[in-house]
Amino acid sequence: MRARRDPLGAVQARGRPVGARASWRARFETTRAVWPILIVFAVVVLGIYLGWFSPTDGAAVGAFATLVLAVVSGGLRWKGFVESVIAAGITSAMMFLIMFAAELFSAALALSQLPNEISHWIGGLALPPVMILLCLLIIYIILGCFMESLAMVLLTLPVFVPVMTSLDFGMTSDAVLIWFGILVLMSVETGMISPPFGMNLFLINSIAKDVPIQQTYLGVLGFYAMDILRILLVLFVPGLALWLTGLG
């Protein structure tokens, strides 16, 4: 909304000249490279929706289609393919290590009965379920400033999921978990752009090395406010997160 009302604000704030308005032909030519990706996206989504393959199979179809697209367009050579496989292997190994540690942590929690004790304790509090959920989301936003998102989610869900299923939101357990999962992902990503310690803020600043970190903080505030508003909307209007699952 801000960009729509003041599209030149960022350029003028940095003291740079304003360019000429692009024609519709120039806009179309600029977006021409995006169309193959949109086609792959459409194939995957339609394939899942029409029952051609499952969502898990859809991920494989999308990855294979992207690979074919890269080869056909000439953007992928043998050296680049090998480098991509090595990078994917390293990333996968790190993810599997985190998941293995999370499994050990979950097993330890199950043996200690800690999630059940926390659920019983929270159930005895004189707080509405929505307020308890709001407190959990605030915890995720705070953790997002310091932890990697996957590790954070895998380490906290074994504790927080039993808490959510023990609360009465007037919905089925499956609906509550879908709603909670969407809210968690939104809160984690919001935490990662939270000033002054959000991890993504430092990533952005490392890319734009000529921009002071204070200016990065100011520049992200509008997006941060919109993310908080989005979380509150989904929190108090669960239908925004559940309407798609209701189509099935």
Specify if 141 maps to a domain.
yes
* Terminal Cα distance for the chain, rounded: 32
Q: Is 16 left (phi over 0), alpha (psi -120 to 50) or beta?
A: beta
Specify if 232 maps to a domain.
yes
pLDDT in tens, the chain (248 residues): 666 666 665 555 555 565 667 777 777 777 777 788 888 888 888 888 888 888 888 888 888 888 888 888 777 788 888 888 898 889 888 878 877 877 787 777 777 777 677 777 776 777 888 998 998 898 888 887 777 787 788 888 888 888 888 888 888 888 899 999 999 999 988 888 887 777 778 777 777 777 787 888 888 888 889 999 999 999 999 888 888 776 65
Q: Which domain holds residue 138?
A: 115-248
Q: Are 217 and 195 in contact (CB under 8 A)?
A: yes
CA–CA separation, 223 vs 190, rounded Å?
9
pTM: 0.65
Domain count, the chain: 1
Specify if 151 maps to a domain.
yes
Specify if 144 maps to a domain.
yes
Full DSSP string of 83-123: HHHHHHHHHHHHHHHHHHHHHHHHHHHHHHTHHHHHHHHHH
CA–CA separation, 178 vs 241, rounded Å?
8
Specify if 67 maps to a domain.
no
